[in-house]
């Protein structure tokens, strides 16, 4: 289960989202050859990834920023850019271009710092934009809790696109970070769950002044908890898992994709 789009495109072009996606992709492509040389890759991570034990010793503070633009593989990069694409445009529209850029960076810095606090002696390098993007998701939840998000559910051979309110999808995602964080070993690597949860909280807190300026609860009542733009139209809409026809059925049934 993962999100593929929301229903409300932004009212203006999200240039900062475009620029951030381009920067992340460019950094990954330019350093792609490092994955063929483990020694060079290790040195690259030492120089630019968050290593909590190193920061706890008072070194490498700049990696709280540089690590935001580094990814560990195509799937890591693609997943993060998908989430940024879905949730970033509406928040940039509400905040403005430069304030959104500052918000993104501060969310990433906060997520990295919380990760260090959660595992101060860990020597495992940590990379990725997911902490900053988690901040975007936290801000999105506060501003647009009832925005419809299409999630793709894969059940063996069945595929279904299901629209759900943002508060359900993001709430489940946040709960998964807490559950994962409780069972994670900071010395073995894997997913930085507390960085995700921390970034989400930082983003929500940073968005709170904007939400209050917009009217708080009154803003939700005015916009019905969704971005203030018309819903987009997509070629693929919500679908239903098909019913297997019985022998007595005469008319053919639709396949798994709706028309």
CA-based nearest residue to 104, from 176, 14, 190, 30: 14
- pLDDT bracket for residue 10 (50, 70, 90): confident
Q: In the predicted model, is pLDDT for residue 237 greater than 80?
A: no
Question: 72-76, 92-96, 158-162: which has the minimum mean pLDDT?
Answer: 158-162
As a whole number of angstroms, the distance between CA 6 and CA 150 comes to: 6
Using CA of residue 220, residue 223, residue 229, residue 233, what is the dihedral sign?
A: positive
pTM, to two decimals = 0.84
- 3-class secondary-structure state, position 178: helix
What does the H/E/C string look like for 198-231? HHHHHHHHHHHHHHHHCCCHHHHHHHCCCCCCCC
Class of domain 2-223: mainly alpha
Neighbouring C-beta atoms of residue 79, cutoff 10 Å: 17
Q: What percent of the chain lies above the pLDDT cut of 70? A: 86
Question: 74-88, 161-175, 229-243: which has the minimum mean pLDDT?
Answer: 229-243
pLDDT of 159? 78
Comparison of pLDDT for 111 and 223, the residue scoring more: 111
Using CA of residue 132, residue 231, residue 5, residue 11, what is the dihedral sign?
A: negative
CA-based nearest residue to 202, from 103, 98, 96: 103
Contact 226, 10 (CB under 8 A): no
Comparison of pLDDT for 253 and 221, the residue scoring more: 221
The residue extents of the domains of the chain are 2-223
What does the H/E/C string look like for 54-87? HHHCCCCCCHHHHHHHCCCCHHHHHHHHHHHHHH
Q: In the predicted model, is pLDDT for residue 236 greater than 90?
A: no
As a whole number of angstroms, the distance between CA 238 and CA 224 comes to: 21
Question: 55-69, 119-133, 182-196: which has the minimum mean pLDDT?
Answer: 182-196
Q: Which residue has the tokens 């939700």?
A: 220
Comparison of pLDDT for 182 and 164, the residue scoring more: 164
Comparison of pLDDT for 250 and 204, the residue scoring more: 204
pLDDT of 243? 43
């Amino acid at each position: 289960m993962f999100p593929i789009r929301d229903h409300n495109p932004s009212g203006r072009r999200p240039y900062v989202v475009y620029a951030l996606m381009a920067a992340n992709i460019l950094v990954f492509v330019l350093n792609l050859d490092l994955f063929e040389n483990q020694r060079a890759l290790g040195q690259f991570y030492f120089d630019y990834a968050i290593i909590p034990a190193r920061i706890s010793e008072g070194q490498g503070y700049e990696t709280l920023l540089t690590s935001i633009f580094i990814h560990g593989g195509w799937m890591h990069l693609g997943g993060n850019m998908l989430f940024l694409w879905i949730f970033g445009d509406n928040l940039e529209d509400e905040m403005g271009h430069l304030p959104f850029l500052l918000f993104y960076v501060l969310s990433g810095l906060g997520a990295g710092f919380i990760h260090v606090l959660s595992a101060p002696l860990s020597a495992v390098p940590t990379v990725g934009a997911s902490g900053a993007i988690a901040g975007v998701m936290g801000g999105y939840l506060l501003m647009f809790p009832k925005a419809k998000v299409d999630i793709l559910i894969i059940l063996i051979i069945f595929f279904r696109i299901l629209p759900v309110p943002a508060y359900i999808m993001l709430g489940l995602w946040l709960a998964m970070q807490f559950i994962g964080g409780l069972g994670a070993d900071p010395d073995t690597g894997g997913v930085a769950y507390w960085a995700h949860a921390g970034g989400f909280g930082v983003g929500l807190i940073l968005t709170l002044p904007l939400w209050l300026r917009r009217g708080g609860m009154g803003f939700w009542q005015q916009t019905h908890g969704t971005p203030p733009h018309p819903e987009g139209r997509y070629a693929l809409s919500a679908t239903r898992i098909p019913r297997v026809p019985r022998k007595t059925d005469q008319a053919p049934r639709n396949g798994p994709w709706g028309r």
